[in-house]
Chain A
Amino acid sequence: MDGRRAALIAAAALPAAFVALFFAYPLAAILERGLTEDGGFELPWDVLGAHSTLELLWFTTWQAAASTLATLAFGLPLAWVVSRFSFPGRSLVRALVLVPFVLPTVVVATAFLAVLPAGSERGLLPILAAHVFFNTAVVVRIVSSYWSRLDPRLWHAAASLGAGPARRLREVTLPVLAPPLTAAAALTFLFCFTSFGVILILGGPGRATLETEIYNQAARAFDLRAAAALSLLQLAAVALVLVVSAATERRLGGAVPLAPEQDALRRPRGAERVAVAGVLGVSALLLGLPLAALVDRSLDGPRGYGLGFYRALGDETASLLVPPWHAVLNSVLFACAATAVALAVGGLAAAAIATRGAPWLDALVMLPLGASAVMLGFGFVIAFDDPPLDLRGSAWLVPVVQALVAAPFVVRIVAPSLRSIDEALREAAAVLGASPARVWREVDLPLVLRAVGVAAGFAFAISLGEFGATVFVARADWPTVPVAIFSFLGRPGAVNAGQAAALSVVLMALTTVVVLAADRVTVRRGSL
């Protein structure tokens, strides 16, 4: 099938070129800065070997490990409840749990600032809490999508062979859940390891991770060589995490009998009812409290409770060059452009990957995910600041870098959906007279539409809230909402804090509406 081969190459070309220009080229620029001195090759031992760097690496690692453990401890009971039981509102709970995950880091950090009692120390505890808040969704969704389809007869078999509840947990549940647990833990660790906005805002002075230190060196100290060296360290660490987690998952993976979800679910009985209600209540309280505090702070204006801070979003302010509502407009515009680019690049990459022709493309498009947003932003700044590609100050860099961050998510959502289409369906269409192009339109497209809709929602939400990379490339007269919030937070006073809270609420509402709407619209269209 030569036509198919040509189509595959064409589909792979655009994403490959995009990644080469906007990821590989900036990465090369970082390598050049970090590994050369006066024109010759030299490892930056003075930076990497410094005592402060070792401390940085140590803190980055252990806060990520602690955050991961805390997230597992908090998320697993919730995963258990939505995996084993049917109760009214179960699918709503599964949907709502996703909301914290898509909220911009800057918004969540602002929300946790609002929870902290006035004047209390920023530090480790708020960081851990914020990381748990974000990543509970990762644990619940990954683990429960597997757990809820486990054939309940596994436990029945174990029970009939004489295993009690504790024994069943140890001998059946945990070993069988090991692969999704590892996957969720690895992903959470990765997100916490490269966490930026949360640490920057909640960490306070002295709490720096690799990610925030790259930003400090590049944007505040202007030591580009040190920033490049730290970026290389970061890249190596992230690669190590990815390799180890992939190897662990492969080792743990095994065939497990899966059943349709409705067969595995049952109503809670007796004491289980109390446990289910308790877990749901505590989870709702802990996940809802920061958001409630954020809304409360945004309404608690200088002239009493009301919409004062929201009205002030239209006024000139000392913190920004433009009225804050411009930032909302900018964010929406940039996010639309970024979503279009991410869908085009990620969708084509997914199509190429799903036809089994280009496994290398999978790894290639996933790379930006591991490379961390701050590194991308930093790479953009040093790569596109002189000829041949002098894009300095171009507003286009913002949607491009956001698309780069969002594209891996698009691939991860669309590719499995494309891959899950039974080849026999395409053959059935061909037998009924559909040409290859018609098969694509009549079979592939409708079946993948829902995934594309969800991916578009995600890409839009990610672009709206993107901070780590955007903060490097956003122009002062074209700020995005997260950048504007960060500006407000950097200035003292209750008015700035209130404006930050109001902008955060706007961003939170936008993000939530977009993600839930994308889910909804595509569900309805897909059911036709």
Chain B
Amino acid sequence: MSLAVEQLAVSFDGSPALAGVELEVAAGERLAVLGPSGSGKSTLLRAIAGLQRPDAGRVVLDGRDLAGVPTHERGIGLMFQDGVLFPHRNVEGNVAFGLRMQGMPRGERAGRVARVLELVGLSGFERRSTTNLSGGERQRVALARALAPEPRVLLLDEPLGSLDGPLRERLLRDLEALFERLRLTVVLVTHDVGEAFAIGDRVAVFRDGRVVQAAQPDELWARPVDAWTARFLGIRNVREREGRTVVIRPEAVRVERGEGAVVLLAERRGPVVRLRVRLDGGDELDAVTTALEHPRRGDRVAVEIDPAGVFEIDAAPEAG
């Protein structure tokens, strides 16, 4: 099922939340919408699901304009940010809800619920009350509930938003594997670069109610469209010189013992060490190293830049 969003606009009390969004998602494709909080990502999902009426533009599903089709007839699944499980129903009652709405006979429902629960790793949870679930389990039930009616498109609003640590990591891996297996058409909204890159076949970077760049993760990392996007993706070495914008990827900055710069910061993030150095000329640069023996804060170092990791952004940073 392919989904297209054309010139979609929504504003609240005069201030635009969506300002002419253009998106296309091919059948079976997974699109991650990546943007800072407050950039209108959730509003985009709500408009696609029919929970928010757009001021302008269209949502087209398989060539059919969805304007005038109410939410409950769209066949689009939505997993809410914090689950929004029905408190008056147990796990089975939540997962079977959409099936009941479709009029599926009771006998078939139980089988489907069991299969979906197994899919999300919650086999045997049918009778559990939703109030006694952990955060991760709640999210899994919410996912199962959205998956059970086999929606034509699945929308996910910050599915890992309220989780942290290893739990978040595990559910992320599970989502990846699940989507790979089901070949679902998915739109996932997140503010987390890692999450977007892990799940999205393509990533659409969202800023102030519009898409500034949509590309595959490697392409996005290699060629961010503007300085803001580069910084948002985590590349802080952005220089603006004589009207030109130059980006130096941190992995292209090599730091060795020597002279010419001082280490401002050195912190280990798992297998890599992130460094921040100040050149004697005054410029600051980010660098990463995988070395076990790395420079410490205050050390004098020499900095060498691999030209392959330096590129120039042609377009001036977009306004707005």
Chain A residues near B (Cβ < 8 Å) = 422, 424-425, 427-436, 438, 442-443, 446-447, 526, 528
Query: Quick check: is B49 within 8 A (CB to CB) of the other chain?
Result: yes
Contact string, B51-95, partner A, CB cutoff 8 A, digits 1/0?
100000000000000000011110111101000101110000000
Query: Which residues in B have their C-beta under 8 angstroms from that of A528?
Result: 88
Are A428 and B101 in contact, with the CB atoms below 8 A? no
Are B88 and A430 in contact, with the CB atoms below 8 A? no
Are B80 and A434 in contact, with the CB atoms below 8 A? no
Query: Which residues in B have their C-beta under 8 angstroms from that of A430?
Result: 50-51, 70-72
Compute how far the CA of A382 lies from the CA of B269 in the bound complex, rounded to whole angstroms: 84
A424-B80, A427-B51 known; A432+B97 contact, CB < 8 A: yes
Query: Quick check: is B210 within 8 A (CB to CB) of the other chain?
Result: no
Contact string, B197-228, partner A, CB cutoff 8 A, digits 1/0?
00000000000000000000000000000000
Compute how far the CA of A431 lies from the CA of B76 in the bound complex, rounded to whole angstroms: 7
Query: Which residues in A have their C-beta under 8 angstroms from that of B76?
Result: 431
Compute how far the CA of A526 lies from the CA of B131 in the bound complex, rounded to whole angstroms: 13
Chain B residue at minimal CB-CB distance from A428: B84
A432-B97, A433-B149 known; A447+B88 contact, CB < 8 A: yes
Compute how far the CA of A257 lies from the CA of B98 in the bound complex, rounded to whole angstroms: 37
Compute how far the CA of A434 lies from the CA of B87 in the bound complex, rounded to whole angstroms: 17
Are B98 and A433 in contact, with the CB atoms below 8 A? yes
Chain A residue at minimal CB-CB distance from B73: A433
Compute how far the CA of A443 lies from the CA of B101 in the bound complex, rounded to whole angstroms: 13
Interface residues of B in 102-156 (CB under 8 A from A): 102, 145-146, 149
Q: How many A-B residue pairs have CB under 8 A?
A: 61
**How many whole Å from B69's CB to the nearest CB in chain A?**
12
Are A447 and B145 in contact, with the CB atoms below 8 A? no
**How many whole Å from A100's CB to the nearest CB in chain B?**
32
**How many whole Å from A74's CB to the nearest CB in chain B?**
36
Chain B residue at minimal CB-CB distance from A446: B88
A434-B72, A434-B101, A435-B72 known; A428+B88 contact, CB < 8 A: no
Query: Which residues in B have their C-beta under 8 angstroms from that of A424?
Result: 80, 84
Are A428 and B77 in contact, with the CB atoms below 8 A? no
**How many whole Å from B220's CB to the nearest CB in chain A?**
30
**How many whole Å from A7's CB to the nearest CB in chain B?**
15
| A interface majority secondary structure | helix
Query: Which residues in B have their C-beta under 8 angstroms from that of A432?
Result: 72, 77, 97-98, 101, 145-146, 149
- Of A427, A435, A438, A447, which contacts B87 at CB under 8 A? A447
Other A-B pairs, 18, CB within 8 Å; known A432-B72, A434-B101: A422-B84, A424-B80, A427-B78, A427-B80, A428-B86, A429-B86, A429-B97, A430-B71, A431-B77, A432-B98, A432-B149, A433-B73, A433-B101, A438-B72, A446-B88, A447-B87, A447-B88, A528-B88
Are A442 and B87 in contact, with the CB atoms below 8 A? no
**How many whole Å from A433's CB to the nearest CB in chain B?**
3
Query: Which residues in B have their C-beta under 8 angstroms from that of A447?
Result: 87-88
- Of B49, B88, B102, which contacts A431 at CB under 8 A? B49
Compute how far the CA of A424 lies from the CA of B78 in the bound complex, rounded to whole angstroms: 11
Name the 3 nearest CB pairs between A and B, nearest first.
Answer: A433-B101, A432-B98, A430-B71
Q: List 28 A-B contacts (CB under 8 A).
A: A424-B80, A424-B84, A425-B84, A425-B86, A425-B87, A427-B51, A428-B80, A429-B86, A430-B50, A430-B51, A430-B71, A430-B72, A431-B51, A431-B71, A431-B72, A431-B78, A431-B146, A432-B77, A432-B98, A432-B101, A433-B75, A433-B98, A433-B102, A434-B101, A435-B72, A438-B72, A447-B87, A447-B88
Query: Which residues in A have their C-beta under 8 angstroms from that of B145?
Result: 428, 432
Compute how far the CA of A438 lies from the CA of B70 in the bound complex, rounded to whole angstroms: 13
Compute how far the CA of A105 lies from the CA of B76 in the bound complex, rounded to whole angstroms: 57
Compute how far the CA of A430 lies from the CA of B98 in the bound complex, rounded to whole angstroms: 9
Query: Which residues in A have their C-beta under 8 angstroms from that of B97?
Result: 429, 432, 434, 442
Query: Which residues in B have their C-beta under 8 angstroms from that of A433?
Result: 72-73, 75, 98, 101-102, 149
Compute how far the CA of A432 lies from the CA of B71 in the bound complex, rounded to whole angstroms: 9
Compute how far the CA of A483 lies from the CA of B70 in the bound complex, rounded to whole angstroms: 56
Are A438 and B101 in contact, with the CB atoms below 8 A? yes
Are A526 and B88 in contact, with the CB atoms below 8 A? yes
**How many whole Å from B70's CB to the nearest CB in chain A?**
8
Among A433, A435, A447, find the residue whose CB has the most chain B CB atoms closer than 10 A: A433
